[in-house]
Amino acid sequence: MIGELIAGRYELHELVGSGGMSNVFRAHDRLLERSVAIKVLHEQFSADEDYVERFRREARSVAQLAHPNIVTVIDRGQEDGRQYIVFEYVEGENLKGLLSHGALPVDEALRYGLQIAGALDFAHKRGLVHRDVKPQNVLLTEEGEPKVTDFGIARSVDVQSVTQSGTVLGTSDYIAPEQARGEQVDQRTDIYSLGVMLYELLTGEVPYSGDNFVAVAMQHLHDPVPSVLDQRRDLPVRLDLAVQRTMAKAPADRFESMEELIGELERCFGELGSEEAATRIVRPPRRPRAKRPRPKVPVVPILLIMLAIAAVAGGAYLLSGGSPNVPVVADNNPSGPIALVAAGAYDPDGDGAEHDSEIAEATDGDPTTDWRTESYDDFTKPGVGLVLRAPEQVALSKLTVRADPGFEAKVRAGNSPSGPFKDVSKEQEVGTITTFDLDTKGERYTYYVVWLRLPSTGGQAHIYEVTART
């Protein structure tokens, strides 16, 4: 088709994209003397009257999307039975090409996220859902400004996004669970896909990978949402939780609208560089607790890791000439957020258990689930604790607890999950979000305990999420 003249006006110069349903060309508009992009549907789809009518309707709708971060529709028509749409031509690479160089700086990633979210919010408020949000559909101008394209109009897809039978399913790296199941989609589907994009902008890689469409789609359906902090520890916890919320498996657990997501991303952006940004957590609307299946724990690798830790601890013991519980003086202590894992309850003056089956809820990255103590009619013992394990011996400087108010707590530390522990913070009243300033006197510990004391009249404590930093 190169060299053809469409509508007596658009001269096709170069094929710039091809997919299962259309080809995209760079063309020269002879009338206005400018470059344009023209998408031409494959002939077999142009013969379907129902499809053509939907195509026309969507083209008219998208033509109304006058937004600086949306590629403009210029013209639509047909030539020899072939449907086509003409767009502004954006000179530059797409966002996927930019990501080939790796993760972006946090502020740059947030700027792109906010601009793309703004474009999608503009479309959503006019009744359009994109359904194929991905970096390949975000073009970058020569000035680096993003422009979203392909708003559900005869979406071009990559070869790997087509099944063997030829049915177009979408791009699995960014597909929302409900989309993978073939269910109805809405604006929250775009929120999920944008969340995947944010994860990729911040880490340089997609959250799930596999050899084929089905393998990746199944991970979107069933695998836990990964934490950005696992890949990049310099990020604020609040931003990590925002990304995880966009990628919640159930649409009802995501942000309700793109506008709500924009508000949270703006707050994350505004807090960059602030001292408390890395540990500040926002409490979302409380939703009913859903029982989630616990992932199977690979026993052999964990045993190998434990043996390695034991060998290192044994070496430290021999070098120190004392007990392995002797704290290690901090040296080259890592700086930034530390991902803690809830390791168990600590109840030395009771039955030793405090809803142990819910321990993982305190550090699962989901601020709508919680670990709770037993319910007491009166509280007479010295306290009960939530034991948290650091990935390595580390001297924490701050520990933040998100909880329901109504109890007092302090932080203790040690190098065994069963103690002994020493106080590393003052006791204080716990509110919705409480940050404890820790003083380890330069010593590093593997285990930290939120040691809490309920009022003498009893009650029950709920801890939703615990985060920390050095």
Q: Which of the residues are catalytic?
A: 142
Cα 187 to chain centroid distance, Å, stands at 17
Q: What is the 3-state secondary structure (H, E, C) of 107-168?
A: HHHHHHHHHHHHHHHHHHCCCCCCCCCCHHHEEECCCCCEEECCCCCCCCCCHHHECCCCCE
Q: Which two tokens stand for residue 228?
A: 């950005």
How many CB atoms sit inside 10 A of residue 277's CB? 18
Query: At residue 316, what is the residue type?
Result: A
Residue 426 CA to residue 439 CA, distance in Å, equals 9
Beta carbons within 8 Å of 7's beta carbon, 6+ residues apart: 75, 77, 79
Residue 186 CA to residue 246 CA, distance in Å, equals 14
**Hey, what long-range contacts does 30-33 have (CB within 8 A, 24 or more apart)?**
30/5
Buried b / exposed e along 353-381 (16+ C-beta atoms within 10 A): ebeeebbbbbbbbbbbbbbbbbebeebee
Query: At residue 151, what is the residue type?
Result: F
Asked if 109 and 202 count as a contact pair (C-beta separation under 8 A), the reply is: yes
Asked if 339 and 227 count as a contact pair (C-beta separation under 8 A), the reply is: yes
| Three-class SS state of 429 | strand
Asked if 232 and 278 count as a contact pair (C-beta separation under 8 A), the reply is: no
Strand 328-329 and strand 337-338: the pairing is unpaired
